[in-house]
Structure 1
Amino acid sequence: MNRDFLLHNQAAKTLYHEYAKKMPIIDFHCHLSPFEIATNRKFNNLTELWLEGDHYKMRAMRANGVDENFITGNASDFEKFVKWAETVPYTLMNPLYHWTHLELKRYFGIDTILNPSTAKEIYNEATSLLQTEEYRAKHLIKKMNVEIVCTTDDPIDDLKYHKQIVDQGYSVKVLPAWRPDKAMAAENPEEYNTYLDKLSKVSGIDISGYENLLKALKIRQTFFNSMGCKLSDHGIENFYTEKYTNKEINDIFNKIRTGNHPTELELLKFKSALFYQFAVMNHDFGWTQQFHVGAIRNNNTRMLKLIGTDKGYDSIGGFDIAKGMSIFLNRLELNEKLTKTIVYNINPSDNELMATMVGNFNDGLIPGKMQFGSAWWFNDQKDGMQAQVKALSNMGLLGRFVGMTTDSRSFLSYTRHEYFRRILCNLIGTDIENGELPADMKMLGEMIEGICYYNAKRYFEFG
């Protein structure tokens, strides 16, 4: 993993080292904790920083036969790290192998390959560094030349930690992003009504009817907007487009609010109505909306009950998303309510579908208005990134792409931007070497800089 890692020709090396490498990072979608940033969390050891909450590593360890006690259980942090070190040699050809050693090298200056025989040495060296000020949360972000971070926040969040970060004068801009998924998650009326009661309290609106739900959400979205929010994010299996009437939605809401379970069709209608209203509100606030589409979550219900969500039991779905996506975007376009939009697919077989569908709704007024987003989750590895870039290049305009985002809960994930940039430069460099692109390094270098930084800066109007 030397200076020219993943760069297989001279053109790729030039594009990366002279153009991509120096660009700041705009992480416009992640799951970092605003609390941990505001309090400048100190991590007691490498396990806390590296393994805590990392579902990628959890899945790999289970596949390697590691007992749950050493993953999410009560084993000591060092014991958990040893089990991860035992797993790493088996991750060869998995992106975790590259990510693991990039993170050790870039954050800690450790070149040693992680395996059982080196585990203690690496653990002690990194843990020692974590005791210093330079390795607290805020410094880990700044270390990677990050300029802007957009977290993921529920409508009921008070955003007090975002305010604290601003008041502290932190040089990295940390902005909220609106994630209203729970506001339409009415599968379990008891849990949903508890959520609505919380939303009612923070908004000051008695949510006794569907219209009041929309008013409460509008009040919260106004608050988010005042705190610098410019993006929403929506995690969906598919686009909700069931036909409904206003009377039906009012009746369904009243049914749910009184603690009764909706039928499957009623739930689809209710979600379709709210999902559309979310998009309308995004447009009215001038925000960019992001849709993460196609994951099947919480497949292992036994483990869900034992250890909860986001622990590595989610997977790629196989949905027919084309028709619903078309109906949804077209309805917004017909009503002149389609804002800037980024779509991310988890199923790689949907790459060309996504890339062509978003192209149907560009308006000729905003460059790159409709974006086929970066390779997401199971796709954010070498093959997946290459496939996403190629699909975007073939079906749209690569030069307008807003680039990579971490979608991560880890403070060590910013090396994924480097990983993406190296892969991107190698793809472009290979085409130059093959005579398929002009050897105009200034022109192509400016495109690389745009994808890595400037396009996102302009697109999101971060100033």
Structure 2
Amino acid sequence: MTPFMDKDFLLSTDVARRLYHEVAADLPVIDYHSHLQQSEIAGRKTFRNIAELWLGGDHYKWRLMRTAGVSEHFITGPASDKEKFNEFCRVLPLAIGNPIYHWSHLELRRLFGIELLINTKNADAIWEQANAKLAKMDTWAFLEQAKVEIACTTDDPADDLLQHADIAKSGLKTRVLPAYRPDAAMRINKDGFPDYVQRLSEVSGVKIASFATMMQALEKRVAYFHERGGRISDHAIDIPLPAQAASAEQLEAMFAKRLGGQLLDDLEAAQYLRGLLEFIGAVYARHDWTMCFHIGAMRNNNRRMLDTLGPDTGYDSISDMTTSAGLVALLDALDAAKQLPKTMLFNLNPAMNEVLSTMIGNFQDGSVAGKVQFGPAWWFNDHKLGNLNQILAFGNHSVLGVFVGMVTDSRSFASYPRHDYFRRLVCRQLGEWVEGGEYPDDFEALSTIVRGICYENAKNYFKL
């Protein structure tokens, strides 16, 4: 029987073990998509205890605890930190097969050197030992301990990025860069959209009175981000894009309708989104940025809990929407105009793996290795099987050696062992191909692939 999470965890062959230990394990991390808060980095935030670090905003763990029957009192409610931690330790052993089980043990080992199993019996000892270590750690310590060379935050176009400037002037070894996320500008039917337009107008210096001036304001903010190190944009695509683009006149009419206080119908909202993405995609191309699409989330599905706790609190799921026709049409329109930027397609629905891993081949032009990328396993796909399936789909339909690798997509400074988890799975899959006689036992060639996927490809692709 294989020991639980020993040094060869997930490494099923001799080749995998050698690739991981000799090549992958000690490579720096480029985390090109996260939800870390720039304020917590600039302010060198410390954590009062492991409950705050693990449970203070982690909707992955909240969702697990609710499903295991834990009352909201011990999740987001008034229970003490120790009570919340104890409840997490009590129910985690039930979560066999869930990546949180592996992640949590990896975090204990990598961050705190604690080898104890997480359960009720060990809760007090873990609490005391982890808190003793935390007393000497801040957000910088987490980044530097994990060898994070570059971390990208997620920032609204209207953000002033002043804390990014403070970080850049500090002694932090990790480079922390902004990433442009214009979701508030994309979600035209959201409450507060007119107020957001006013805010964007003020920070951009563009008087926004039309679709065209809205785009001018967004373009000015891209330039602002670019001057401050931004090279990546991100967009949540939660509705199907239309295959047919709206005309300039139609887009202006839709924008005027919304600023006039009326909501758009579903088709109009989708056409507005398509028009915005087509415009801003061309802007990214001119700046040599990468455009990332996160496709297929159904967000904030529980109205009662949305009213109680707000968004992003663990009430999201996978959408089965059809995206292929509209997405291809958008990419094709940009490509036809010679304005398609480097693009990454992340999908939340695993049924879309083959759709997107073949779609990327439509728009490669030889200018950049893997110019259009099938993004890493994301959110509900970020588990052992999900990562392996993503690697297999990329390998089957594209050139796996140009893959730019993993992201944390996390709000937690404790999440960097997820890169270790991913690296082990990459080495596992390569080793199994060699073991099965499907690839030669050429350590130099295999090492090149591993270094590329785990570090070098991202550094070269994003030009960070």
> Given the two structures, how large is their TM-score scaled by the length of structure 2?
0.97
Cα distance per residue 1:65-98 (max 9 Å; x no partner): 1111211111111111111111111111111111
Name the CA distance, whole Å, in 2 between partners of 1:458 and 1:238: 32
1:237 and 2:232 matched = no
1:248 shift after superposition: 1.6
> How many pairs align?
459
What is the letter of the counterpart of residue 6 of structure 1? Answer: L
The equivalent of 1:364 in structure 2 is: 366
Cα distance per residue 1:223-269 (max 9 Å; x no partner): 00100000000011245234312122112211211222223332222
1:404 shift after superposition: 0.7
Contact 2:33 2:154 in 1 (8 A): yes
1:283 shift after superposition: 1.1
Contact 1:19 1:446 in 2 (8 A): no
Name the CA distance, whole Å, in 2 between partners of 1:394 and 1:214: 39
Contact 2:241 2:323 in 1 (8 A): no
1:125 shift after superposition: 1.2
Q: Secondary structure at the match of 2:292?
A: strand
- Taking the TM superposition and a 5 Å limit, the aligned residue runs for 1:168-247 are 168-188=170-190, 190-241=191-242, 242-247=244-249
Name the CA distance, whole Å, in 2 between partners of 1:330 and 1:76: 54
Name the CA distance, whole Å, in 2 between partners of 1:261 and 1:95: 40
Contact 1:344 1:376 in 2 (8 A): yes
The equivalent of 2:328 in structure 1 is: 326
Contact 1:280 1:332 in 2 (8 A): yes
Give the 3 Å change call, closer, same or farther, for CA 264–93 of structure 1 in structure 2. closer
What is the letter of the counterpart of residue 88 of structure 1? Answer: L
The farther-off stretch of 202-211 and 396-405 is: 202-211
The equivalent of 1:116 in structure 2 is: 120
The equivalent of 1:451 in structure 2 is: 453
Contact 2:153 2:178 in 1 (8 A): yes
Cα distance per residue 1:1-24 (max 9 Å; x no partner): 211111122111100001111211
Q: Which runs of 5 or more structure 2 residues have no equivalent in the other structure? A: none
What is the letter of the counterpart of residue 280 of structure 2? Answer: F
Name the CA distance, whole Å, in 2 between partners of 1:230 and 1:157: 16
The equivalent of 1:442 in structure 2 is: 444
- Select which of 364, 379, 382 maps to 2:381: 379
Contact 1:289 1:340 in 2 (8 A): yes
Contact 2:240 2:321 in 1 (8 A): no
Name the CA distance, whole Å, in 2 between partners of 1:319 and 1:239: 7
The farther-off stretch of 385-394 and 88-97 is: 88-97
Percent identity over the alignment is 44
Name the CA distance, whole Å, in 2 between partners of 1:182 and 1:278: 14
Contact 1:238 1:324 in 2 (8 A): no
What is the letter of the counterpart of residue 102 of structure 1? Answer: L
The equivalent of 1:88 in structure 2 is: 92
- Select which of 144, 157, 172 maps to 1:142: 144
- Select which of 281, 293, 296 maps to 2:295: 293
Cα distance per residue 1:367-409 (max 9 Å; x no partner): 1111101111111110000000001000000011101111111
Contact 2:274 2:330 in 1 (8 A): no
Name the CA distance, whole Å, in 1 between partners of 2:214 and 2:103: 43
The equivalent of 2:16 in structure 1 is: 12
Q: Secondary structure at the match of 2:255?
A: helix
The equivalent of 1:348 in structure 2 is: 350
The equivalent of 1:433 in structure 2 is: 435
Q: Secondary structure at the match of 1:407?
A: coil
Name the CA distance, whole Å, in 2 between partners of 1:320 and 1:271: 16
The equivalent of 1:460 in structure 2 is: 462
- Taking the TM superposition and a 5 Å limit, the aligned residue runs for 1:152-167 are 152-167=154-169
The equivalent of 1:251 in structure 2 is: 253
The equivalent of 2:63 in structure 1 is: 59
Name the CA distance, whole Å, in 1 between partners of 2:23 and 2:141: 24
What is the letter of the counterpart of residue 47 of structure 1? Answer: A
Contact 1:46 1:130 in 2 (8 A): yes
Q: Secondary structure at the match of 1:360?
A: helix
Q: Which runs of 5 or more structure 1 residues have no equivalent in the other structure? A: none
The equivalent of 1:79 in structure 2 is: 83
What is the letter of the counterpart of residue 451 of structure 1? Answer: I
Name the CA distance, whole Å, in 2 between partners of 1:249 and 1:419: 45
1:421 shift after superposition: 0.5
1:365 shift after superposition: 2.1
Contact 2:219 2:280 in 1 (8 A): no
> Given the two structures, how large is their TM-score scaled by the length of structure 1?
0.97
What is the letter of the counterpart of residue 426 of structure 1? Answer: R
